[in-house]
Amino acid sequence: MKNKKLIFLAVVLLFSGILIGLIVASKLDIQTKGYSEEYQISKESQEVLSKIGNAMAEVVQAVRPAVVNIYTTKKIKRPRIPFPFDDPFFRRFFDEEFSELFRPREFTQTSLGSGVIVDASGYILTNYHVIKGADEIKVKLFDKRVFDGVVVGTDAKTDLAVLKIKAEGLRPIKWGDSDKLKVGETVIAIGNPYGLALTVTSGIVSATGRANVGIADYEDFIQTDAAINPGNSGGPLVNVRGELVGINTAIFSTTGGYQGIGFAIPSNMARVVMENLIKHKKVVRGWLGVTVQDLDPEMAKALKMKEIKGAVVTDVYENSPAQKAKIQRKDIIISFDGKEVEDSAHLRNLVVNTPPGKTVKIEILRDGKTHTVTVNIEEQPANLKVTAAESLLGGIYVEDLTNKLRSQYRIPNRINGVIVMSVDPNSPAYGILNKGDVIMEINNEKINSVRDFNRVANEVSEYAIVWFYRQGKVLYTTLKAR
């Protein structure tokens, strides 16, 4: 009797298991069918994505013949290391192989970068740092042909260089208008990162008009999240029409690799520099004859300005175009040649890219009223001389120390002052004060704001003793009039 009960229980469990299995399988089948039906990619979506993919591929196919590899070689001589064992007394203890280590040697250093053909006659744009100091330059085209690259001219202040090759059948890139770029617009970067020939990456324009980055003297960068890595330098940044809108130049990175922030020189700036180098073998820059600083929030509020835009004139050079046009200290330049001035760096770029001899209209704000003056832009003097007061502090561009800047530059709360954002190459502080330094005191006067800095800057004459904070240390330097 007991065995019959066990057999009956086993049969019941068996059939129960089968029944549960059928129910589960049925539900899974229903879910699977629903999943496949619900998440199936529609033909419309596939067509849209295919069109986008095909469009990007067409742009790359049109542009890639203009992209080149640039290979450079440079001979580096290691100087003779002083070897006290040249003395006969010491020579007895060391053989020739050991002393060979201290003799002069010559090494060959190779590097690579990218470039872009901008003219059918053979002109190529690239970065200056790609070919700097090179003894030999080789240019490899898309069709594998290799030519010697001849340097037409270089401009370290914008990090641009123009090369030329003797070749036929070149397909130059089309020029685009970088001034029309919009934040969020799709762009494509092409180059040779890490020697991987013709690599294509895409992204968007993250920002325009980036300055005070610390890469070059004249900065007006396009910021993009299109991946730019070592070796991309000098390659083109193009828009969806396959037009050149920038020259890939550098990345912002804490690791040395791509982190989503890349910079490109705008094509309009690059074109002006290129044409100058081809025509004059140097860059002829426009000159207004003023020193300027950014408009701070307090001044903008006092003037009842809706936006913090414009550049404040801190000084005017004698016999300069600005003085002839009666521009004065404290004037706020709000537009230049029909273009709204964003800040001091923007004005600086507008001026230097204006050809000497051109007459422009400048809109200024003076005593709460708007005035328009006409200025004849002149060529920037090669041996620019400045007044004593301006030569000491006029070329130092500072901002108030905000919490955001404290965090960015790791400045402790105990440090007060103004933070250096850039230093003009004509300033005696150039190479002494760096971006990120905090100026705390000048000639025994504490500096707590940009207003304090401007006031003291106008008072110094023969020298300025500057106390400043840098990377955990408080230091001082003495600036003297040249």
Catalytic residues: 129, 159, 233
- Alpha carbons within 13 angstroms on the beta-carbon side of residue 107 total 6
- CB under 8 Å to 58, separation ≥6 — which residues? none
Of residues 141, 69, 58, 114, the one with CA closest to residue 248: 114
List, as one string, the DSSP characters of 79-90.
Answer: PPPP-GGGSHHH
Task: Give CA–CA dist 15/219, Å, rounded.
Answer: 80
Distance of CA 395 to the CA centre of its chain: 21
Three-class DSSP category at 303: coil
Q: Which two tokens mark 123?
A: 């002109």
Which phi and psi (to 5°) does residue 172 adopt? -70, 160
Are the CB atoms for 290 and 313 separated by under 8 Å? yes
CA end-to-end distance (rounded Å), the chain: 118
Q: Which two tokens mark 138?
A: 């080789």
Task: Give CA–CA dist 233/70, Å, rounded.
Answer: 10
Task: Give CA–CA dist 296/128, Å, rounded.
Answer: 35
Strands 67-78 and 105-117: antiparallel
AA letter at 262: G
Three-class DSSP category at 4: helix
Are the CB atoms for 350 and 336 separated by under 8 Å? yes
> Kind and range of the H or E element at 445?
strand 445-446
Tokens 């000491």 sit at which residue? 392
> Kind and range of the H or E element at 279?
helix 267-280
Task: Give CA–CA dist 187/228, Å, rounded.
Answer: 12
> Kind and range of the H or E element at 159?
none
Task: Give CA–CA dist 85/94, Å, rounded.
Answer: 8
